[in-house]
Structure 1
Amino acid sequence: MSTTSAPASGTTPAPEPARSAPIKAIKLRHPWRIVFAVILILLLAAFIADALQREAYGWPYVLKYIFDRRISAAALVTLELTVLSMIAGILLGLVLAVMRLSPNPVVKYIAWVYLWIFRGTPVYVQLVFWGLAAVIYKNLFLGVPWTHIGVTVDMGFLQNLFLIAVIGLSLNEAAYMAEIVRAGLLSVDKGQEEAAIALGMSWGLTMRRIVIPQSMRVIIPPTGNEVISMLKTTSLVAAIPLTTDLYGVARDISAVTFTPVPLLIVASAWYLLVTSVLMIGQYYLERRFSRGVGEQRPMPAANPGAITEAVQTMKAKNEGASHG
């Protein structure tokens, strides 16, 4: 049995709304954009053609040393320096970030002084200092000051140049990672942490399940940039001096063969290769931790009073249009 009621007698059915004609979009023309792109392509092609013809680049030497065992072994050392320094820098940076957010003023200002020193001095100067650490600290006394109660530690391990390079790079990186982690933790709304605590979640569980997963979306991109920057910063370990890294080995080979430009090209090619792999890993990490967000930018925290005023203004306009 149909429940649709028939129109009342004497009434005419409402006319169907007229369908609007489809809009024909006309694409804007940008002739100067095309001209600029063509000029850039021609300049790039001219540079490549000129570089391939110049003997100073030494392309035969580039092909000879690009897969040399000494170069590939040095690239592995550079990768080890990058990974170990970043792991230590991230862990220490996490501790410093928590110290910066601590309500204890002594802990907070100690972390601030650390960041002030290591961010305010060049990393090359810091590496030179750590290279001299074995001369400054031959022995280290741990115990009660101004007494003989304690133990003396031999600091001979500081003569290991690879270990000194990792220590110097990680201590410098920790100062930057601390600010990255702190910015990520502060990006999570405080109300979510309070709601989790109200539900009976502990502080550790709240950090693992609520705060850290959301803050990773902010932490991952700059951390990926720091990893790539660390890869290139390893070339400064010559200040220690450690010469088994990629740049150090390429420089030593060029000093013997008197071909500095080809060996610089070889080192740059290996740096670009490793950087490309790291960028791919960064892309997938960002996509993993940005699920549910998409490509839209998060709305900035606006003033509630301004939002209320804007809503009231829109309502007044709508009421005026309806009365008119």
Structure 2
Amino acid sequence: MQLSPPPLFKHGTPALLKLALCLLISLALMIADSQFKALEQIRSIANVLISPIQAVMQAPRNFLRASYDYLTTKGSLEVENENLNKRVAELTLLANQSELLLSENAQLRNLIGIAQQSRFKILISEILFSPPNPLSQRIIIDRGANDNISLGQGVADHQGIVGQVVRVMENRSEVALLDDRDMVIPIQVARNGLRGALYGNGRGRPLELRHMAAISDLQVGDILMTSGIDGIYPPGFAVATIDKIDRNVDKNFASVYCSPIGGVNRFRHVMILFYDANYGPRPTANTPSVNNAPNKPSRLYRGKP
């Protein structure tokens, strides 16, 4: 298909003359617009008329650009959010570890303070784990025969008695806690000196002060201390507090339920007590060490080691 030239450039008029005429018109319009702003109003009207067309023509490009920016921003935000969540988890873990370390540090300070003030030797030990036996309450500590640990030694923390060594290995020992079914410890009521025997009833059950008369001078809140009459536990260590007393006057006995004072299932460090009733003050350079004292298994623990 052959296109015909515009009317201005049809044959009959010299092409050079027509081009010159167009240039003169263009130059005149540019001078008029530059000097007198003659075309400003025309430009404004044209801009108003052309703007909707421009918006329609630019819509696909703007849509694609907005979609790209959205997807890019969403991807970067997801990555940033994931990194922030990881950082929050790390900081939370560090905060929990810091609180745990502060708690352990405070407990170790208390244990060291007790060890320095005690009249007998005390060895600080770390709890390794609990044996997988739901019927017993025992723990494994990182001290054993190499540290002169023997059967029957009392174990405590900075709050009170927590148990007794019932099995000794080369580098570790097994400790039965107060609420173990086979545990029994002689106690004395701090308020009035009344003596008795405190028994363990198993995991999740309260300790029981058995064989007490119904008219016994016992009160809820009384603190039970080690009496020391067994020669195994040193006297004066806190053991438990009385939580509930059921008095059966007809049968003349009282059921006394208690809770341990020591952190039976809370702390990571405990003290092994090198106590022997045959020795007096803490050994010095001129007195024999309790480590050389004969090892005596406890007569109170009722289970098999």
TM value normalised by structure 1: 0.18
Bigger proportion of residues as strand = 2
Bigger proportion of residues as helix = 1
Which structure has the larger Rg?
2
**Higher RCO structure (Cα 8 Å, ≥6 apart):** 1
